[in-house]
Chain A
Amino acid sequence: MNVLSLVIFLPLAVGLGLYAVPRLGARAVTWTWIAACAVDLALVAAMWIGHGTDGGISYETDARWIPSVRAGYHIGVDGLSLPLLALTSLLFLACAIYSLRQERQVRAFAALFLFLQTVSLGLFAALDLLLFFVFFDLSIVGMYFVIAGWGHGDRTRSALKFFLYTFLGSLVLLLGFIGLYLGAEPHTFDMVELTRTPPLAGSAGLAGLVLLAIGTGLAIKTPTVPFHTWLPPAHTDAPAAGSAILAGILLKMGTYGFVRIAMPMLPDAWRRYAWVIIIVGVISVLYGALVAYAQEDLKRLVAYTSVNHMGYIIVALGAAGAAGDQAARRLAVTGAVTQMVSHGLITGALFLLAGVLYGRAGTYDMGRFGGLAGRAPVFSALVAAGAFASLGLPGFSGFIAEFQIFTGVIGSGGAGLAVVGALAIVGILITAALFLRLLHRAVLGPPGELTARVTDLRPSEAGAIVPLLLLAVVIGVAPRLLLDVIEPISATVVSLVAR
């Protein structure tokens, strides 16, 4: 058993262990949870150092699982999975710290989050389609119970909608995976082999259908317009930590799947339908931003900006399949992967901040607050930092990601892509407007009816949120740390798509 398997299954083991010890107090449970997350994060950091900046796969394990369909327990890390593994362990640690004040059914809550952490880490490390799918599906089950068990508002209904919608997506994805399996000669679910010799290379029609299935499945998870309707209710009714994980980690499973599976395994089809993908991305960018602008509810607002931010990733990945300058397309893919990390950090922080607001005042309605800056200065400063980071202000990670995406998309050449880039920049303007409006209404101005109820951040809350935003700043100021790991893999992905 290598260190990667340990990283993946340590949280699950701790989660089960929580039940093995009877009569564990709530504080003890949470501290055990925090310790497990911290150890996991340290192990991922060690793996990051051990991996270095080469483009290959390290910490690989390939064990037989279902040999008769050639599916294996094949895991490993490369420049694409490593940033997401690090993001996952960091965000789960933040959620553990944030939950120090959790009171309701602490043990089950911690166990469920530890289970979700194993599932998320496993997904980003999986190098086998079936293993990927197992984790993909289990993430839905885990998040369903988080929303249904600890949510608020109309939680059962939102959780059900989330489950049904994303489960449909996962089954469509499974059909696509089986298509890849049957298209490969010899039949296999192994990602490395499927990447080496893309299946269905000879039959364009079938490859298109398989891409449609996989693309739809991943688009529901991402989500892109028009498959995003499950997202706002799920976010609104989920507990704060659940929202942070849902937006920060679970959405990345969709975009990660595009880079890991759809692009390298179906390069012909990806290039042929690149424009469909780009257009879906642009619509997500604009629609997400416009709808977010119209929201009164803070959580719905952040949820719709997620649709907008995921849209940039889709645009960049689509542009990587359109004809154009090789270096620019590499830049676009690097930007897309950076955006996954950046969005995870910033949106995770924003959802935790929204949770603070709800915990104090019992509502997300921005119109009922105002002048929070005077009442809760630390809270307001963090909201402002999160808002500026999310709208892509230089100095934050979002800027690094989006700048690379725009440069890459526009630089690929062609009038069409230039128009796309221009439209996407409009999305940034709208996002800037809506975040400034949020700051005006809730943070500045005269006190609102509920402002008096909002007290400033507690240490546990600050301890969870500050590191996330701090890291967003670190990446914004010194991006090489991250980009050095991502760039080799984006070069590989672009050359695989260009085959």
Chain B
Amino acid sequence: MMRENPADLLPELLVLGAAVMGLLAGSFLPRARQWIVGLLCAIGLAGGLVAAAFAARRTDLMTFDAFMLDPVTHVTRVVVLAATLLVIVLAMSPMRGHRRESEFYVLILLAALGTIALGATSDLLVLVAAYLLASIPGYALAGFGKDAPGTEAALKYFLMGAFLGILMLTGVTLLYGLGRGTSYEMLRAELGTAPDGAVTVGVVLLLAGLLFKAGAVPAHFWVPDVTEGAPPVVAAFVTTVPKIGAFAALYRFAAEALPPGAGDWPPLIAIIATATMTLGNLAAFAQDNVRRLLAYSTVSQAGYLLVPIAVAGRTDLAEPALLFYLAAYAVTNVGAFAVVIAVGRDDLAAYGALVRRSRLLAISLVICLLGLVGTPPAAVFVGKLLMFGAALDGRYAWLAVVAAVNSVASVFYYLRWIVPAFTGDAEQGRGLDRVAQWTACLAAAGSLALGVGSGVALTIG
């Protein structure tokens, strides 16, 4: 008996409702009062968060034959909605009075909606639809500033997304043919008997799209350009939120659609993970632009996030590792971008003696960056701990060693940013963005709270 209760999708419906109402209201409101749309969207997100939190208390079930309500979905929902809410708050002051202010909020909400669907679906066709919904607003957002770097970024983002989306669609078609269906249940039952080589080709093609969303090698080329070229708020969004849905989708596909041993999944993902973290780190070394530095840092973080995906189904630690790491990464990464937005400059020199301009902001920067390294007690530490545990328990000890070496290497470029903030010469920049400053502090505090309170978070999740 198929369950079709719209109330199961209450968080999504709230976000969709806010987006639609925002679009309508935005058409009538004068420019000076467009901020009401932002408020409306924030309320929609907050309502969605509450609804998602209540939904997380119920038993697992599947609704509309394609939408799973299980811990992966709950965490995806909560993290996506919370991160999007933070981004909306960050956008309030830079977007204030912008000619397309209401469109900005609506596009962000629609992309977030697509991201949730991406992580929650257990059907390949819905996966493709969710991919498009998560991507297309993203392209528009990348070019939002209508300037040369933004346009270049948007074009690059769009072309890569369209190309890899087509590959993904081909993979879906192939898997549909091999598995006689698009639902993960069906695929798991049928793919075991299908020709192994063909399944591998289908899986690789499907990966193209998901790795694009995740910002992983070899589909990572858009990440630095979009992060640098798009407005900073958009950069914070596209390097944080779509990843969450992509990793949830990757995990779900590995755990629910692939029969054990099919498609050479673990070695394939392990190699991609190694390449992603290593290339991300190597490229980050020489960056003098903090946004490019953060962009490559998010690429390397994607590599660590791929580790639990590689051992999905081989250890009980894979799921908590992935979900906790996602939440930890989201709050820490948004915090780091909030510092960039607060300072308003991209070159490393602008961060000289930041501690003298705002002690709290400098400390937030340290907590977020050392948090990304995996220093306890920040949240990413617990994520990395679970990730190492999952790799060792899943018999991928070499992958844990690679991840450890990469973590050490990453210290180098994060410190290049931290050190001048405390010792460098003060450069008289413009004032700090107050809202972004408090968001950065909030995110840093959240990262610490999530790390220290990880016991509580893991018990609920």
Contacts and interface: CB of A to CB of B under 8 A. Distances in A.
Interface of A: 19, 64-69, 71, 130, 133-134, 137-138, 141, 145, 148-149, 156, 160, 163-164, 167-168, 171-172, 174-175, 178-179, 181-182
A149 B370 contact: no
A175 B385 contact: no
Contact of A66 (B388, B422, B454): B454
A281 to B, nearest CB: 26
19 contacts: A66-B454, A68-B320, A68-B459, A133-B376, A134-B377, A137-B375, A137-B376, A137-B381, A138-B375, A148-B422, A156-B423, A164-B412, A167-B373, A171-B408, A172-B404, A174-B385, A174-B404, A175-B401, A178-B400
B412 A174 contact: no
Nearest to A181: B389
Interface string B375-405: 1110001100110110011000000110011
Given A163-B411, A178-B389, 7 more contacts: A69-B386, A133-B376, A134-B376, A164-B411, A167-B407, A181-B389, A182-B393
Contact of A175 (B400, B415, B454): B400
Contacts of A182: 389, 392-393
Contacts of B381: 134, 137
A64 B455 contact: yes
B408 A168 contact: yes
Interface string B404-447: 11011001100100010011000000000000000000000000
A174 B405 CA distance: 12
Contacts, number: 77
Interface of B is mostly: helix
A227 to B, nearest CB: 14
Contacts of B449: none
A178 B455 contact: no
B392 A179 contact: yes
Nearest to A68: B458
A7 B266 CA distance: 47
Contacts of A67: 455, 458-459
Interface of B: 320, 359, 370, 373, 375-377, 381-382, 385-386, 388-389, 392-393, 400-401, 404-405, 407-408, 411-412, 415, 419, 422-423, 454-455, 458-459
Contacts of A71: 455
Which of the listed residues A134, A160, A174, A182 has the most CB atoms from chain B within 10 Å of its own CB?
A174
Contacts of A172: 404
B407 A171 contact: yes
A400 B298 CA distance: 54
B412 A160 contact: yes
Contacts of A133: 376
A69 B458 CA distance: 9
A149 B423 contact: yes
Nearest to B400: A175
A178 B419 contact: no
A169 B97 CA distance: 51
Contacts of B389: 69, 178, 181-182
- The 10 A-B residue pairs with the shortest CB-CB distance in the complex, in nearest-first order: A134-B376, A66-B455, A171-B404, A68-B458, A168-B408, A178-B389, A65-B455, A66-B454, A178-B388, A137-B376
Nearest to B384: A174
A259 to B, nearest CB: 23
Interface of A is mostly: helix
A149 B419 CA distance: 9
Contacts of B385: 69, 130, 174, 178
A138 B374 CA distance: 11
Nearest to B315: A182
Contacts of B423: 148-149, 156
Nearest to A210: B392
Contacts of A141: 370, 375
Nearest to A67: B455
A12 B359 CA distance: 18
B392 A178 contact: yes
B388 A175 contact: yes
A178 B400 CA distance: 11
Contacts of B412: 160, 164
A148 B419 contact: yes
A344 B257 CA distance: 59
A175 B391 CA distance: 10
B249 to A, nearest CB: 24
B376 A66 contact: no
Contacts of B401: 175
A288 B382 CA distance: 37
Contacts of A137: 375-376, 381
Nearest to A174: B388
B245 to A, nearest CB: 24
Contacts of A164: 408, 411-412
Contacts of A174: 385, 388, 404
A68 B385 CA distance: 13
Nearest to A179: B392
B388 A163 contact: no
A163 B415 contact: yes
Which of the listed residues A66, A69, A130, A141 has the most CB atoms from chain B within 10 Å of its own CB?
A66
A167 B320 CA distance: 25
A134 B384 CA distance: 13
A258 B153 CA distance: 53
Nearest to B403: A171
B221 to A, nearest CB: 29
A34 to B, nearest CB: 24
A68 B376 CA distance: 18
B392 A175 contact: yes
A319 B24 CA distance: 79
Nearest to A144: B415
Contacts of A167: 373, 407-408, 411
Nearest to B422: A149
Contact of A138 (B373, B376, B386, B388): B376
Nearest to B374: A171
Nearest to B407: A171
Nearest to B389: A178
B351 to A, nearest CB: 15
Nearest to B458: A68
Nearest to B373: A167
A168 B405 CA distance: 7
A68 B454 CA distance: 10
B218 to A, nearest CB: 27
Nearest to A63: B455
A149 B353 CA distance: 12
A162 to B, nearest CB: 11
B419 A156 contact: yes
Contacts of B392: 175, 178-179, 182
A8 B371 CA distance: 23
A191 B248 CA distance: 34
Contacts of A149: 422-423
B452 to A, nearest CB: 8
Contacts of B411: 163-164, 167
B415 A66 contact: no
Contacts of A19: 359
Contacts of B382: 66
A175 B387 CA distance: 11
Nearest to A172: B404
A68 B377 CA distance: 17
Which of the listed residues B381, B404, B458, B459 has the most CB atoms from chain A within 10 Å of its own CB?
B404
A376 to B, nearest CB: 33
B419 A175 contact: no
Contacts of B405: 168
Nearest to B406: A171
Nearest to B388: A178
A90 B419 CA distance: 31
Nearest to B401: A175
B366 to A, nearest CB: 9
B397 to A, nearest CB: 8
A177 B251 CA distance: 26
A174 B455 CA distance: 19
Contacts of A66: 382, 454-455, 458
A8 B419 CA distance: 28
